Chain A
Amino acid sequence: MHFAPLPYLDPGSGSFLIQLLIAALLGLGVAVRASWGRIKGWFGIKSQPKADEDDDESET
Chain B
Amino acid sequence: MTTSQKHNSRQHPASFRDPSGFLFSRDKVLYRQVNRKYEQEYARLMESGLYDRLVKTRLLIPHVEADQVPAESDLAHKIIQPECVPFISYPYEWSFGQLKDAALATLSIQRRALKAGMSLKDASAYNIQFVRGKATLIDTLSFEIYEEGMPWVAYRQFCQHFLAPLALMALRDIRLNQLLRVYIDGVPLDLASELLPLKTRFNFGLLTHIHLHAGAQKRYSGVEVKSRLATMNKQAMTGLIESLDSTVRKLEWKPGGTEWGNYYDITNYSDAAFEHKKQLVREWAARVQPSVVWDLGANNGVFSRLAGEAGALVVSSDMDPAAVEQNYHQVRGEKTENILPLLIDLTNPSPSMGWANEERDSFGARGPADMALALALIHHLAISNNVPLLQVADFFGKIGKWLVIEFVPKADSQVQKLLVSREDIFPDYTRAGFEAAFRQRFRIAEAVNVRESERVLYLMESL
Report which A residues bind B (CB closer than 8 A). Answer: 1-5, 7-9, 11-20, 22-31, 52-53, 56-60
Among B53, B230, B240, the residue within 8 A (CB) of A22 is B240
B232 close to A24 (CB less than 8 A): yes
Shortest distance between the CB of A16 and any CB in chain B (Å): 5
> B78-118, CB under 8 A of A: which get 1 and which 0?
00000000000000000000000100110110011001000
Contact B155 A15 (CB under 8 A): yes
Which of the candidate stretches B22-30, B220-228, B253-261, B416-424 sits at the interface with the other chain?
A: B220-228
The reply to whether B57 and A57 contact each other, CB–CB distance below 8 Å, is: yes
- Residues 127-177 (chain B) with a chain A CB within 8 angstroms: 134-135, 144, 147, 150-157, 159
Task: Report whether B208 and A13 are in contact in the complex, using a CB–CB cutoff of 8 Å.
Answer: no
* Contact A2–B238 (Cβ < 8 Å): no
* Residue contact A14 to B213, C-beta cutoff 8 Å: yes
A56 contacts across to B, CB distance below 8 A: 53, 56-57
Given contacts A9-B157, A60-B101, 18 further A-B contacts (CB under 8 A): A1-B225, A1-B230, A3-B227, A7-B153, A8-B17, A8-B18, A8-B19, A9-B17, A11-B156, A14-B213, A14-B216, A14-B220, A18-B217, A19-B151, A19-B240, A53-B112, A59-B134, A60-B104
Given A11-B156, A20-B229, A56-B57, A30–B221 Cβ distance below 8 Å?
A: no
- Nearest residue, chain A, Cβ from B151: A19
Residues of A within 8 A of B441 (CB): none
Within 8 Å CB of B44, what residues of A?
A: none
Closest 10 CB pairs of A and B: A26-B239, A27-B236, A14-B217, A15-B156, A23-B236, A18-B216, A14-B216, A2-B227, A14-B220, A7-B153
Tell me the complex Cα distance, A53–B235, Å. Answer: 17
6 examples of A-B residue contacts, CB within 8 angstroms:
A14-B216, A14-B217, A14-B220, A20-B231, A27-B237, A31-B235
List of A residues within 8 angstroms of B221 by Cβ: 12-14
Chain A neighbourhood of B134, CB < 8 A: 59
Minimum CB–CB distance from B299 to chain A (whole Å) comes to 26
Tell me if A26 and B225 are in contact (CB < 8 A): no
A57 nearest in chain B by CB position? B57
Q: Which residues of B contact A24 (CB under 8 A)?
A: 232, 236
Q: How many A-B residue pairs have CB under 8 A?
A: 135
How distant is the Cα of A11 from the Cα of B223 in the complex, in angstroms?
Answer: 12
Contact at A13–B225, with CB atoms within 8 Å?
Answer: yes
Output the nearest chain A residue to B229 by Cβ-Cβ distance.
A20
A16 is contacted by which of B57, B101, B230 (Cβ under 8 Å)?
B230
User: In the complex, what's the smallest C-beta–C-beta distance from B123 to chain A, in angstroms?
Assistant: 10
Closest to A1 in B: B225
Contacts of A8 in B (CB 8 A): 17-20, 121
Residues of B within 8 A of A (CB): 17-20, 53, 56-57, 59, 101, 104-105, 107-108, 111-112, 115, 121-122, 134-135, 144, 147, 150-157, 159, 208-209, 212-213, 215-225, 227, 229-233, 235-240, 242-243
Chain B residues in 8 Å Cβ range of A1: 224-225, 227, 230
**Closest partner residue, chain B, to A12 (CB atom):** B156
Q: Are B222 and A13 in touch, CB under 8 angstroms?
A: yes
Q: How far is the CA of A1 from the CA of B209 in the complex (A)?
A: 21
The CA-CA distance from A53 to B150 in the complex, in Å, is 22
Q: How far is the CA of A57 from the CA of B222 in the complex (A)?
A: 43
Contacts of B108 in A (CB 8 A): 53, 60
A23 and B219 form a contact (CB under 8 A): no
Is A60 a contact of B135 with CB atoms below 8 Å? yes
B209 touches A20 (CB 8 A): no
Could you say which of B152, B218, B235 contacts A19, with CB atoms under 8 Å apart?
Answer: B152
**For residue A17, which residues in chain B have a CB less than 8 angstroms away from its CB?**
216, 220, 223, 225, 230
Q: CA separation between A53 and B108, bound complex, in Å?
A: 7
Knowing A60-B104, A60-B135, the reply to whether A26 touches B243 (Cβ < 8 A) is: yes
Give every chain A residue within 8 A of B227 (Cβ-Cβ): 1-3
- Bound Cα distance from A16 to B238, whole angstroms: 16
**Which residues of B are found within 8 Å of A31, using beta-carbon distances?**
235
Give the residue name and chain of the A residue nearest to B111 (CB). Answer: A53
Question: A14 — which chain B residues lie within 8 A by C-beta?
Answer: 213, 215-221, 223
Taking the closest CB of chain A, its distance from the CB of B309, in whole angstroms, is: 25
Chain A residue at minimal CB-CB distance from B214 = A14
Bound form: Cα–Cα A3–B227 in Å? 7
* CB neighbours of A19 from chain B (8 A): 151-152, 155, 232, 240
A5 CA / B108 CA spacing, docked (Å): 24
* With contact pairs A13-B222, A53-B111 given, residues A27 and B216 touching in the complex (Cβ less than 8 Å): no
**In the complex the two chains form, what is the Cα distance from A14 to B323 in whole Å?**
39
Q: Does B216 lie within 8 Å of A7, measured CB to CB? A: no
Contact A9 B232 (CB under 8 A): no
Pick from A2, A8, A16, A17 the residue with the most CB of B within 10 Å: A16
